[in-house]
Amino acid sequence: MKIGIPRALLYHKYGILWESFFEYLGIDTITSPPSNKEILEKGILLSPDEACLSLKIYLGHIKYLSNKCDYILIPRIESLKKNEKACTNMLALYDIVNNIFNVGILDYNIDVNHNYDELYAFVTIAKQLNIKRMDAIKAYKYAKEEVKQIEEGKAIKQESLIKTQKLKILLAGHSYNLHDELIGKSVSKHLQNNDINVLYSDINNKKINKAYICKDFSDKNIISDLQKRNICIDYVTKFELDKLENGNHQGIILSVPEFEYSSLDQLLVSDKPFLVILDHLEDPHNFGAIIRTCEAAGVDGIIIPKDRSVSVNSTVMKTSAGALNNMKICMVTNLNSTIKELKKNGIWIIGTDMVNSVSYTKIDYDIPLALVIGSEGFGISRLVRESCDYVVNIPMVGKVNSLNASVAAGVLIYKIFEKRNF
């Protein structure tokens, strides 16, 4: 089986993501060549008069692929933000291609206004190809990591260009215009041939703002890597580092942008969501450990309350061991209202409590669900418990009467994982 990917429009933003996703699953892809005059001319013949240049080129790429693959991936980006709509050409891509060409189409739909985010799009692709949901999630995470590394490399390169004394010109616009061989690349090549540094508006800045390093820090490899990334380094005393992080460091502290929380809608992306609700958890180490377990088990997202609860901080980031980068965290004002909203969306609520509950082994978890983990000292709150459809416990035969919150979460999460996947 071969999947065709047109080298036009959203390919210039998502191409690496798509190709890496299929690569992980062992599926062959074929990409059309860079845009050229022949591709444009074929696209013009197939296009409606009101189509923009980018769409005309896109249809030329479809024509090139139409007899060379089993399916063609057609992105349909309806909205990337709440209460916003994408360009009408993007909205119509699927229908335009379907009406013009007799080809198999892989539907790729992102519409956050209807709870269809990026992960949902890839799970939908997998379903069309009879690929298991968990395999799709693993492939998606792999692809996102590949994109992250490439984007970081581009950012570092662009930052090095900024620091030169040469004339610099910023090219602003959509990725599909900036990087298309026929539209934008001719401009950038002309500028480069005239010894001008070209900067692109769609390349993000690095995620590390600054590094604080103890003056006697000995790991030269880390320092060298930071220097290669052109990250500002401030050499300070151990006393100054201690003040920044309460003495909890290993001689280096990195300043990064504030964590961006997800909306509730962004968590409800699959046909059978698996969510974790933390009912006023207070220990950042427990939170970080739970994030790590959730990421490993394919949990769709974690919900935490805004008040009287641990939030994402440096300790949580450190304890999660990188898992936080791949996990959606939603912070809500009221847990009880959020649970009601989840139930309206067909989500079953499963609480954890030792009193008036059944063994966690007795429940069928192959349903859309949210698992509630209570606080370290008090468990789940009364109102939350009353909203639960099921309440389960972990049987214990020892003398202690409870488990650490992160340990209990790990046992239950992997029981749910087992029931849903084996």
The terminus-to-terminus CA distance of the chain in angstroms comes to: 27
Q: Tell me if residue 249 falls in helix, strand or coil.
A: coil
User: What is the per-residue pLDDT across 294-334, written as a single tens digit (0 to 9) for each?
Assistant: 999 989 999 999 888 888 887 888 788 778 888 899 999 99
The DSSP H or E segment spanning 75 is strand 71-79
Of the candidates 366, 388, 141, the one whose C-alpha atom is nearest the C-alpha of residue 271 is 366
What are 338-367's pLDDT values in tens digits? 999 999 989 999 998 888 889 999 888 989
Q: What is the pLDDT of residues 227-250, one digit of tens each?
A: 766 678 888 888 888 877 665 677
CA 403 vs CA 26, 179, 221, 249: distances in Å: 41, 54, 40, 28
Percentage of the residues of the chain whose pLDDT score is greater than 70: 96
- Give the pLDDT of residue 205: 58
Q: Which helix (H) or strand (E) segment is 139 a member of? A: helix 133-162
Please check the confidence at residue 80 and state whether its pLDDT lies above 80. Answer: no
Please give the structure tokens belonging to residue 261.
Answer: 């929380």
The larger pLDDT score, comparing residue 150 to residue 255, is at 150
What is the overall mean pLDDT for the chain? Answer: 86
Mark 1-21 as b/e (b = at least 16 C-beta within 10 Å). Answer: eebbbbbbbbbbbbbbbbbbb
> At 252, is the secondary structure helix, strand, or coil?
strand
CA–CA gap between residue 90 and residue 102 (Å, rounded) = 20
Six token digits for residue 19: 């190709």
Report residue 263 as tokens: 């909306």
Cα–Cα distances in Å, from 56 out to 5, 15, 60, 178, 186?
16, 19, 7, 16, 18
The reply to whether the predicted model has a pTM over 0.75 is: no
Give the pLDDT confidence score for residue 208 in this predicted structure.
67
Q: Mean pLDDT, to the nearest integer, of 386-390?
A: 92
Which range (13-17, 193-197, 204-208) has the least confidence? 204-208
Residue 203: pLDDT above 60? yes
Domains of the chain (ranges, CATH numbers): 2-146 (3.40.50), 210-255 (no CATH), 264-421 (3.40.1280.10)
CB atoms near residue 318 (< 10 Å): 17
